[in-house]
Structure 1
């Protein structure tokens, strides 16, 4: 699966559509203030302990969620339907895919057809917390496979995807996704599970060494705004690509305009983190940056590339300033020592603020 890039038109399949089927949450255990949970009766105590270790959702139900998600996703892709997408997603994934669907009229039709071709998730693994953790989400690890004649073809060996499904008022929704690509798949950490196979959620703001999972978003956005602090983020392909974007800012403007990047307020700002077997955490979150291009004088102006024109109603007329709003969906790993590495930064333009040149 290709990465979204600030230097090319976003062409990643919006693989984020989730069926609107609503599956009930598994009931959690009694609170500690419940007389039954504080009983000294050994049988009652054991029963309370067993209830505390019920999963948020069973594996069978989780598979049904993903099956329903795939069906609606493929229907929405075939119909190019924003309506179906909006019923299926939430959070940063919804914002990113709305941006992609906005661009569809001006994207390469062959590339769009490839990105939106029917697919399935295979080789699924689920990481489900206990109901007692009070979490409302679970994590899936899987591979992509194209659908041929309604059946999955050979799975991709070049990409491993992680996806978060969260239970909201309308049912289960896909809210975050990113993955490991190529040789960096060797860095996929083992996730911590207990004897019952239940996963452990990491609190977003609790530090693991020097770093909290919630810090990943700011660290990624800062790569574009300042080039980042190389002492904080470990060297990975995604980190270096982002630094390269910052280093090359304005290179194509021929001294006729300024180009700057600034950290922006995320659409959602959610952080989903699961404990790894070594005591660290696997993290998925969203961040945002704004790229501003400003003409230096009245004899210079800014124009929009074809793929960005659908975001601006007055088209590609001469602009004195353009602000491009980009969303990042990132995946990273926080090590037990607190070191952090980012392995995916999937980007999507979600809007454009353009200021036309004044009339002369």
Structure 2
């Protein structure tokens, strides 16, 4: 899974007929990067076995799920086996992981070695809802053995096939995650993704956030609080095409429906919500009309994995996942966001 949220720089390349070359920068973190020890902290408080209602699963059962995910994921990363990884992973994160494997040959040896290195989740907090909550998922808050300096990561495990828990979202937070609410039995409370918390509901975040790419934040800049994620997304819009393409082509972004639209949200102490939401867009680099007869766009190595033909327009698809803090009294804060190119045509 990709840790960073970079978008593709592009360069001018001369061919027998002058053409514009498009290259894509690598963003890397071992698929669903995690951290070591398996049995750390949990927000679940002790309660009498006879008085506490059942949870969706026990902490011990959740630990086995997470341990197995680490084991299988590490094996799959070492051999770039998407089928094997699919036994423990689904959703947006699997879209990104599959793209990593598809693009493997375009990576440097250093990046490949890093990706193949085993990872573990350490300092785990098990975020388990009650069995009668209606939720099909649980989460962990943890840190990564692969990146000790990184902030906390939230990892969601859902029964997407009705039988097996699989990781569906993994997002690193650039800021400390506020305290997640737990009841007297230590269970977390899932929030309704369609219920507004302040300006937006969790399931409105993606469409609203993509405005940073489409317009530079003409609307989103007033809706969202300024964070490292929002500033980075605005910068992508402001930068436009790379210097070598200036004068030859334009670049535009278009929001699209994420491949896996399910949103996950938990209530915070004080009335807020932490939400993990999918998001997606396309990037369209197009030659200006006056250059279409004498120029073409040559896709770079990563784009060529999907389509190596020269063309007037290069359209790249990106699937993303993000973390947001919603407050009844403040603007939504997107405090972690990651995109991965998953197709080019």
* Same-fold status (TM-score > 0.5): yes
1:16 to partner: Cα distance: 7.1
Q: Which residue of 1 aligns with 2:203?
A: 214
2:167 corresponds to 1:174? yes
Q: Which residue of 2 aligns with 1:10?
A: 27
1:50 to partner: Cα distance: 5.8
2:202 corresponds to 1:197? no
1:295 to partner: Cα distance: 1.6
1:120 to partner: Cα distance: 0.6
Q: Which runs of 4+ in 1 moved over 3 A?
A: none
Q: Which residue of 2 aligns with 1:138?
A: 138
> Equivalent of 1:281, from 273, 277, 284?
273
Q: Return 5+ residue gaps in structure 2 as ranges.
A: 9-24, 35-49
1:251 to partner: Cα distance: 4.2
2:319 corresponds to 1:302? no
1:250 to partner: Cα distance: 2.3
Once the two structures are superposed, the pairs formed by residues 258-337 of structure 1 within 5 Å of their partners are: 258-296=250-288, 297-312=292-307, 315=308, 317-337=309-329
1:170 to partner: Cα distance: 4.1
Contact 1:10–1:100 (Cα < 8 Å) also in 2: no
Of 209-218 and 274-283, more deviation after overlay is shown by 209-218
2:215 corresponds to 1:226? yes
Once the two structures are superposed, the pairs formed by residues 115-130 of structure 1 within 5 Å of their partners are: 115-130=115-130
Paired with 1:292 and 1:327, the residues of 2 have a C-alpha distance of: 15
Give deviations 1:32-68, integer Å, cap 9, x for gaps.
xxxxxxxxxxxxxxxxx968x3211111111110000
Of 196-205 and 99-108, more deviation after overlay is shown by 99-108
Higher relative contact order (CA 8 A, sep 6+): 2
Contact 2:199–2:332 (Cα < 8 Å) also in 1: no
1:248 to partner: Cα distance: 1.2
Q: Return 5+ residue gaps in structure 1 as ranges.
A: 18-48, 147-154, 354-360
Paired with 2:310 and 2:216, the residues of 1 have a C-alpha distance of: 30
SS in 2 for 1:342: strand
Paired with 1:278 and 1:74, the residues of 2 have a C-alpha distance of: 38
TM-score after normalising by structure 2: 0.84
Contact 1:276–1:282 (Cα < 8 Å) also in 2: yes
Give deviations 1:210-239, integer Å, cap 9, x for gaps.
211112212222211112221211111110
SS in 1 for 2:302: helix
1:176 to partner: Cα distance: 0.7
1:116 to partner: Cα distance: 2.8
1:163 to partner: Cα distance: 0.4
Give deviations 1:2-31, integer Å, cap 9, x for gaps.
5131143232221279xxxxxxxxxxxxxx
CA RMSD of aligned residues (A): 1.9
Paired with 1:130 and 1:159, the residues of 2 have a C-alpha distance of: 27
2:65 corresponds to 1:65? yes
Once the two structures are superposed, the pairs formed by residues 51-130 of structure 1 within 5 Å of their partners are: 53-130=53-130
> Equivalent of 2:236, from 238, 245, 264?
245
